[in-house]
Amino acid sequence: MVWVLIGVALLALLAAPAMTGSSAKKIDYSAFLEKVRSGEVAKVDVDNETSRISGEYKDGKGKFTTTAPARIPDQDYTLLREKGVTEDYHPPSSNLIGTVIVWVLPIGLLILFWWWMGRRAQGQMAGIMSIGRSKAKVYTTEKPKTTFADVAGYEGVKQEIREVVDFLKSPGKFRDIGARIPKGVLLVGPPGTGKTLIARAVAGEAGVPFMSITGSDFMEMFVGVGAARVRDLFQTARKQAPCIIFVDEVDSIGRKRGAGLGGGHDEREQTLNQMLSEMDGFESTEGVVMMAATNRPDILDPALLRPGRFDRQIVVPLPDLEERLPILQVHAKDKRMATDVDLSVIARGTPGMSGADLANLVNEAALHAVRRGSKDVHMDDFEAARDRILMGQRRESMALSPAEKEVIAYHEGGHAVLAYALEHADPVHKVTILPSGMALGVTQQLPLEERHIYTQPYIEDSLVVRLGGRIAEELVFGNRSTGANNDLVGCTELARKMVREWGMSDRVGPMAWGSQGMVFLGEDLMHSRDYSDDTARVVDEEVEHILRRQEDRARQLLGELRGGLDLVARALLEKETIDGAEVGRLVDQAAGRVVRPDPRAPESPEALTPRKG
């Protein structure tokens, strides 16, 4: 506003001379005297201060202006009178616009500046006085957003949440039977599974005010602000009851009290204490239901999870095969899909992906289709998008020597041959020796069905497959390379879990020592190992024994299928990428028999009845 006013003032200042000017022609003073002598001038008007003379010619020939000397000579006055020129002398005329600009504008700008400073100071004082107010966003019934129809899958989760919504809509049927609705609902699950989306769906379904806030909004640089905001949040909720309060990332303020290096965080603990008091304290919060979401339930304070506060914990897990398909259908709804796209195949090939991962997969496929100039998204685009997400971006600039390519081909061929030949291993989907991400080559396996538990034969076959690349290098080249580093790290970690956590060692027996506590919570800072040094030595020996045994299995099986290994490696050197069916055909061709029957074939009894994980 200030700059606009300054611009208007400058414009007026520049336009003032033009507004006060006239259309008279300017002439020299000597020419003016000649005009007077010749009798052409009818009248003149003299400005006493500037000696500016303006006049008119006789017979309406026009107007003129000239500038006289500072003091007009007497003979010139005499000449004017002799020729009968009408004379008029006056002081300079005042310019109203110029006067306003010179006197009023500075004063007005000064007043405007002090007014602006006062408003700014008033706003700062208002911000300081309102720092204890809650920052929760209130969604009323007039602003419906997401509904349960937009949340694909998770029928059990939606059923439990729907009970809370039904209570807020019609609490009478619950009170008639004496049921008490949970005061708090905690959504627990890995990142990207849709916890916040489910909460937004509650906002659209409840038909009551919905207050949303993030756990970090309670924290401020001033002491006591968090507790004040919690009080203001619940006071506002009570005024609008029935009401739902949703706190996202509640673990930022709900961590265990008194834990951590050097003691706890006093401000966060005071905020948590106030929240505990508001949820189930001396005053009742009838009609106010609190929802929260976290992916770290292990670090929450036990007082926050007791009945009466968060009565119900709803687990939102990673979607299984039946839930991934409708999630993919939701995200593919606004995409132009080609006829060859089979979302059921994509759902089967994306185990362990969350809803956010699936949304990213569909978007990456659409981006890949645009990059290659297609107007529709094809199945190849989904394959490329999945490879990019699982294996990383392909490194086109990396140049490998022929010797390195051969080593990588046999390394990945060892993985692929064992994955095809072993009974309990997941089938091979694709093998490539093209560098992708941090890997020089990748063997990708896809399970036939969803798994929720893993048997010991499956884990042992998985170890054999991981060790297959290293063993293939030994059999073919007689030496080892650094390419098996990632395989050995995964094998060691898996074997150690078999011994320490899953009880799959006969020497150690049915004992489990889980992962150690988190140091930042103070659970493992001064905590010693809960088993003796002798047991630690036995654990190390058992881990070595498991890995040695599976290494021998890999060596024996690859020795039997050496011909298939050579064919697979040669195919990789020629094509750089082959699929699982090609791997099986080459291994069977070299062995002269079907090494592993396809479990999906019609002659398989298990294939006649669909199996669920």
Catalytic residue numbers? Answer: 412
d(CA 413, CA 570): 9
Alpha helices in 142-224 (DSSP H): 155-169, 172-177, 195-206
CA distances from 153 to 34, 149, 314, 357, 451 (A): 104, 10, 15, 15, 18
Contact assessment for residue 338 and residue 383, using Cβ atoms and an 8 Å cutoff:
no
Query: Does an H or E element contain 543, and which?
Result: helix 533-560
238: Cα within 13 Å, side-chain hemisphere = 12
Tokens linked to 164: 């809370």
Interior/surface letters 178-196, b for 16+ CB within 10 angstroms, e for the rest: eeebbbbbbbbbeebbbbb
d(CA 239, CA 208): 12
- Dump the DSSP string for 457-518: HHHHHHHHHHHHHHHHHHHHHSS--GGGHHHHHHHHHHHHHHHHTS---TTT-S----PPPP
d(CA 402, CA 411): 14
d(CA 426, CA 448): 7
CA distances from 341 to 153, 203, 228, 348, 548 (A): 21, 34, 54, 13, 44
Q: Helix (H, G, I), strand (E, B), or coil: what is residue 17?
A: helix
Polymer length of the chain: 613
